[in-house]
Structure 1
Amino acid sequence: MGALTGKVVLVTGGGNGIGRDCALIAAAEGAKVVVNDLGGGLKGEDEGSQGPAEKVVQEIRAAGGEAVSNSDSVTNYKAVQGMVEQAMDTFGGLHAVINPAGILRDVMFHKMSEDDWDRVIDVHMRGSFNVARATIELFREQNDGAYMFFTSTSGLLGNIGQANYGAAKMGIAGLSRIIAMEGARNNIRSNCLAPVAWTRMTQSVPIKDEAQAARRAVMAEKIRADQPARFSVAMVSPAAANVSGQIFGASGENIILYSQPRAIETVTKEEGWTVDTILSEAIPKMAPKFFDVQRPAPAPAPAKS
Structure 2
Amino acid sequence: MEFVTLNTGIQLPIIGSGTNTFGKVDRAYMGAINGDTTELQEAIALGYRHFDTAIAYRNEAVVGQAIKESGLERSEFFITSKLPGTKEYTADKAAVQKGVEASLQALDTTYIDLYLVHHPWENLEEIVSVWQVLEEYVEQGVLKAIGVSNFEEKELSYLLEHSRIKPAVNQVESHPGKWNDAIIAYSLDNGVIPEAWGPLTRVSQEAQAALTEIGTHYDKTWAQIILRYQIERGVIVIPKSHNKKRQALNLELFDFSLTDSEKATIQAL
Q: Same fold (TM over 0.5)?
A: no
Compare CA radii of gyration and give the structure with the larger one. Answer: 1
How high is the TM-score relative to the length of structure 2? 0.39
How high is the TM-score relative to the length of structure 1? 0.36
